[in-house]
Amino acid sequence: MLALQGDVREHLLALEAAGASTTTVRRPAELAGVDALVVPGGESTTIGKLAVTFGLLEPLRERVAAGMPTYGSCAGMVLLARSVVDGRPDQPLVGGLDIQVRRNAFGRQVDSFEADLDWAGLAEPLHAVFIRAPWVEAAGAGVEVLASVAVDGANHPVAVREGAVLATSFHPELTGDHRVHELFVDLVRRS
């Protein structure tokens, strides 16, 4: 778990429930010791700035680019994006996913909401909690869309995967349903 800011504890519990052994990452030496990484929800600008302060931004970019399985939730999705709409102009990103995200995409009225999503490959719908969530504005050809939310007749991807990098706009660590974490642990095992 990248543990610079955000809801680290909830992800640690969900990952353990999904069968992973976990540790927290704040320094480059700690990053060097893990097989995979989860970037939590929180505030993407704050996590990005702290990554710079802790000397972690470049090591993170290198590990993700080299194929380390990585899962980003909400702010974590923003950090793994190639570019951001409505972000801060100087917002540091890790990248790794060929997507452009729109930050705080769902607007003020539905700042935070819950929805049952159909997820490609999951038999039962997934109850998803969105908190000032981004959506995927544009995605490259190599990006698989796993789930979307319709707003005013337009479908916006909220869960995507490219190679070993997974991202969701929402917070599966908050619902007690561990299927997304299980999918990620599976991805880590297979890589």
Q: How far apart are CA 100 and CA 95, in angstroms?
A: 10
d(CA 185, CA 96): 18
Least Å from the CB of residue 174 to ligand GLN: 10
Please give the structure tokens belonging to residue 121.
Answer: 């490959």
DSSP-assigned letter for residue 172: G
42 sits near ligand GLN (criterion: CB under 6 A): yes
DSSP 8-state assignment for residue 25: B
Among 60, 128, 131, 158, which residue sits at the site for ligand GLN (rule: CB under 6 A)? 131
Q: Which stretch binds ligand GLN (CB under 6 A): 35-43, 49-57, 153-161, 181-189?
A: 35-43
| Span near ligand GLN by CB under 6 A; candidates 57-65, 70-78, 120-128, 147-155 | 70-78
The size of the interface with ligand GLN (CB under 6 A), counted in residues, is 11
167 is an interface residue for ligand GLN by CB under 6 A: no
74: left (phi over 0), alpha (psi -120 to 50) or beta: left
Residues 6+ apart with CB under 8 A from 190: none
The yes or no reply on residue 156 touching ligand GLN (CB under 6 A) is: no
Residues that bind ligand GLN (CB under 6 A): 41-44, 74-75, 78, 103-104, 131-132
